């Protein structure tokens, strides 16, 4: 029985369009956002392996400084604040509200689980106008280890008083779902961009390009039990 759905935030629930616009003011390369995020993920993973931890904001700022340095560009405090601040104002994808409402109508809890800080998660949800559609939210700050390490998935499940087998993790990132799958959760991949799911990662249980279709598949799981 699925009792809760955990949602990744950035690029899963929230559209990165505003962040891309901010980067676009300083770079001609459309892939720079992906490069920045990949370096950010690499940094968070390395610190996790070495049992070290810095919060998302600190890592994001350092990686941003590195991107500008590599490109021979000057990064002012104003530009840094503008780019990182746009993360807090991302809009929700158009299929998110209906999907969340369907889950709540079916008595399935909606939970945000993110690498961002608790303050940032709350601000993101509020600015996107969807905070009232979430029952709770959890940050990796609680366990001092980023996704895809198992710690945050298990922590959020314990806090919600559910077992991993009673949770579906939704993300547009294959590495996130790989971690959730290894932690014992059912996984659902939503394709928000043209990218192949890594064949060396465990396959998701649900695979779709629309959030409403995705949650209907989640509800079917309960119907099949």
Rounded Cα distance between 214 and 156, Å, is 21
Contact between 175 and 149 under an 8 Å Cβ cutoff? The reply is no
Architecture of domain 17-88: Orthogonal Bundle (1.10)
**DSSP labels, 69-111:** HHTT----HHHHHHHHHHGGGPPBPTTHHHHHHHHHHTT-EEE
pLDDT of residue 121: 97
Q: How would residue 164 be classed by pLDDT, with cut points 50, 70 and 90?
A: very high
pLDDT of residue 223: 81
Decide if pLDDT at 224 tops 80.
no
Rounded Cα distance between 153 and 26, Å, is 36
Mean pLDDT along residues 170-194: 97
What single-letter DSSP state applies at residue 11?
T
Mean pLDDT along residues 1-20: 96
| 3-state SS, residue 218 | helix
- DSSP H helix total and E strand total for the chain: 9, 6
Peptide bond into 200 cis (omega under 30): no
CATH classification of 4-15+90-224 is 3.40.50.1000, yes or no?
A: yes
Rounded Cα distance between 135 and 19, Å, is 26
Domain span(s) for CATH 3.40.50.1000 in the chain: 4-15+90-224
Q: Percent of the chain beyond pLDDT 70? A: 99
Query: Quick one: tokens of 13?
Result: 């629930």
φ/ψ (deg, to 5) at 11 = 80, -5
Domain span(s) for CATH 1.10.150.240 in the chain: 17-88
pLDDT of residue 109: 98
Q: Which residue has the higher pLDDT, 87 or 224?
A: 87
Residue among 123, 155, 120, 129 at smallest CA distance from 6: 155
Q: Is 68 left (phi over 0), alpha (psi -120 to 50) or beta?
A: alpha
Over residues 130-161, the pLDDT tens digits come to 999 999 999 999 999 999 999 999 999 999 99
């Amino acid at each position: 029985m699925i009792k809760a759905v955990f949602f990744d935030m950035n690029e899963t629930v929230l559209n990165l369009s505003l962040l891309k616009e901010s980067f676009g003011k300083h770079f001609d390369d459309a892939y720079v956002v992906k490069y920045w995020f990949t370096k950010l993920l690499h940094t968070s993973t390395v610190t996790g392996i070495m049992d070290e931890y810095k919060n998302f904001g600190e890592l994001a700022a350092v990686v941003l400084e590195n991107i500008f340095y590599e490109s021979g560009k000057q990064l002012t405090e104003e530009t840094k604040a503008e780019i990182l601040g746009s993360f807090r104002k991302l809009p929700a994808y158009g299929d998110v509200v209906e999907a969340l409402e369907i889950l709540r109508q079916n008595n399935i809890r909606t939970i945000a689980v993110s690498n961002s800080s608790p303050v940032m998660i709350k601000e993101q949800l509020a600015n996107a106008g969807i905070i009232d559609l979430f029952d709770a939210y959890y940050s990796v700050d609680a366990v001092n280890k980023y996704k895809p390490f198992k710690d945050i998935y298990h922590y959020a499940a314990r806090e919600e008083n559910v077992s991993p087998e009673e949770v579906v993790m939704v993300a547009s990132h294959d590495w996130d779902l790989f971690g959730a799958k290894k932690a014992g959760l059912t996984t659902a991949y939503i394709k928000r961009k043209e990218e192949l799911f890594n064949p060396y990662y465990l396959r998701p249980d649900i695979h779709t390009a629309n959030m409403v279709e995705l949650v209907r598949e989640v509800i079917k799981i309960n119907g099949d039990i």
